[in-house]
Amino acid sequence: MSDRQQVTNARGERIAIVAGLRTPFAKQATAFHGVSALDMGKMVVNELLSRSELDPKLIEQLVYGQVVQMPAAPNIAREIVLGTGMNLHTDAYSVTRACATSFQSTVNIAESIMTGNIEIGIAGGSDSSSVLPIGVSRKLAHALVDLNKARTLGQKWNIVRRLGFKDLLPVPPAVAEYSTGLSMGQTAEQMAKSHGISRADQDALAHRSHTLASQSWNEGKLKDEVMVAHVPPYKSFIERDNNIRDNSSLESYAKLRPVFDRKHGSVTAANSTPLTDGASAVILMSEGRAKALGYTPIGYIKSYAFSAIDVWQDMLMGPSYATPLALKRAGMQLEDLTLIEMHEAFAAQTLANMKMFASKKFAEEKLGQSRAIGEIDMSKFNVLGGSLAYGHPFAATGTRLITQVCNELKRRGGGTGLTTACAAGGLGVAMIVEVE
Ligand SMILES: CC(=O)SCCNC(=O)CCNC(=O)[C@H](O)C(C)(C)COP(=O)(O)OP(=O)(O)OC[C@H]1O[C@@H](n2cnc3c(N)ncnc32)[C@H](O)[C@@H]1OP(=O)(O)O
C-alpha cells in the first residue's frame, strides 16, 4: 500500500480552498464580551459569503465547531445555517477536536467533496472565553434533580439543608485535561522542564511572535483575511486583533512572574496564549466547481494527518507526531516546504516541538524512523507571528492558520505550507497546502 494520500475527488480534481476569513481575535472579556461563539460564527460566515459573492443557496454542507460548548446551541453548525440565509436544506453538523477543531471541520468538508457527496461546503470554528457555560457544583446539580422529584416540603428541606455555601458557588469550565486534571499551562511547564526550554528562549519566541504580528498588521497583510466585526448591540466595532503588542520590549517579558509553577516555573502570561474570543471559516470546493464558478482558489489541500499520544507526558507534542505523517502522505520532506505555521499554544510547547523536529533520537524512539523530521528554518517559521500574539480562540485557530498560510504563500509567489497544531487529549494535526 502506498503511503501517499490522494486528496482529490473521483474526477481527480483537488480540494480547493476558495476563500478564508476570520473575525479579529479579542482577549477574554474585551471587545467580544457578551458575544457568543454562535454569534461570532454567524458573523464570519455571513461576511465570508458576501465577500465571495457566493450565493448562500449553493452551500451544500457546513461543518463547524466549538471547544467550549454552548449548551443552548450544541449543534452550532446548524444554527449558523439557519442564521445566514443559506438553503434550509443545507446539511450541517458540529465537530470538536480541542484546539484542532477547525482542522477537523475542514477535513470533514474536504472528505465530503472527495467522496463526491458535495461540491461546495464551509468549514470553521468559533470560541468564546467570555460567554461561558458557567456550571454548578456536582452536589448542587444532584440536589436540583432531587428537588424536582421531591413531593413534600419536608423532603425538599431535607435536600436543601445538606448543601453548604461552597456547593452554591458557580463553576467555570476548566482549561484542563479531564483525565489528568492538569491544566494546559501545567503541561507546558512539564514540557519546558523535561526538554530544557529556558525562560529566555520562551520570552524571545513570544517577543518575535508579537513583533512579526504587529509588522504584518502594519504592512496591511492581514486586512483582507480579517473582517471588521460590528459587535452586537452594534454600538462598537473591532477591526484588529487586540492582544498583539506593538513595540513591546523583551525586558518587559522578563519581568513577569511564572503563572503555573510560581516557584520553579518559566511559563508566564507573555509566553502563553491568552484566553481569546473569535471565529474563522473557509469555503471549500472541488477544483472543477471552483473554476466553473470563476474563482481563483487561495490554495489546495495536499495532505493531512491526525495523531494521538499519551496525556501524562508531553501532551502538547502533537505537531511532532502528525507532521511526519502529513509529509509522508504528501511525498515531501520538511526542507521542501516553503512555509511552516505551527500553532503556538505556549512558547515552551512550541520550542519543545521544534527541538523534537530536529532530534534523531526522537525520530528513532517515537516515530520509528532513522531520520529526524528536520531542523526548522526560522526564515520559514510563523513568518507573520503566531498564536502567542494573535491569541487562540480554540476552535478558530485551525482555519486561521490555513487561510493565513495560503495568503502568505500567494504573496511569495506560491509553494507549499505546513500548518500544524497540538490539541488537548494528546492530539495533533498537520495539514499541507499548496498554492500556485
Ligand atoms: C492546545 C492548546 O492550544 S492548549 C492552550 C490552551 N490555552 C490556555 O491554556 C490559555 C493559557 N492562558 C491563560 O490561562 C492566561 O492567559 C494566563 C493564566 C497565562 C494569564 O492570564 P492573566 O493573568 O489574566 O493575563 P493578563 O493578560 O492579565 O496578563 C498578566 C500580566 O502580564 C502582562 N503581559 C501579558 N502579556 C505580556 C507581554 N507579551 N509582554 C509584557 N507583559 C505582558 C499583562 O500586561 C499583565 O500585566 P499587569 O498584571 O501589570 O496588568
Distance 259 CA to ligand 1 centre (A): 9
Q: What are phi and psi of 172, to 5 degrees?
A: -75, 155
Q: What is the mean pLDDT of residues 240-246?
A: 98
Q: Are 243 and 274 within 8 A, CB to CB?
A: yes
Atom of ligand 1 nearest to the CA of 252: 41
The whole-number average pLDDT for the span 323-341 is 98
Tell me if ipTM is over 0.90: yes
Instruction: Check if 99 is active-site.
Output: yes
Handedness of CA 333, 338, 342, 347 (dihedral sign): positive
Catalytic residue among 99, 195, 210, 406: 99
pLDDT over 70 at 41, yes or no = yes
Phi, psi of 97 (to 5 degrees): -145, 50
Q: Residue 2: which pLDDT band, with cuts at 50, 70 and 90?
A: low
Q: Is 392 a catalytic residue?
A: yes
Q: What's the mean pLDDT when you consider all of the chain?
A: 96
C-alpha cell at 144: 436540583
Per the annotation, the verdict on 406 as an active-site residue is: no
Beta pairing, strands 339-342 & 299-308: unpaired
For 2, residues 6+ apart whose C-beta sits below 8 A from its C-beta are: none
- Tell me what pLDDT residue 171 has: 87
Q: What is the per-residue pLDDT across 12-36, written as a single tens digit (0 to 9) for each?
A: 999 999 999 999 999 999 999 999 9
Cell 459573492 -> residue = 53
Distance CA 318, CA 297 (A): 29
In the reported structure, the alpha carbon of residue 298 is separated from the centroid of ligand 1 by a whole-number distance in angstroms of 33
Pocket of ligand 1 (CB under 6 A): 99, 175, 184-185, 206, 210, 245, 248, 252-253, 256, 259, 269-270, 272-275, 316, 345, 392, 422-424
Beta pairing class for 61-65 and 120-127: parallel
In this predicted structure, the answer to whether residue 1 has a pLDDT above a threshold of 60 is no
pTM of the predicted model as reported, rounded to 2 decimal places: 0.96
Query: Does residue 297 have a cis peptide bond before it, meaning omega lies within 30 degrees of 0?
Result: no
How many CA atoms lie within 13 Å of 359's alpha carbon, on the beta-carbon side? 17
* Cα–Cα dist 252/147, whole Å: 53
Residue type, 162: R
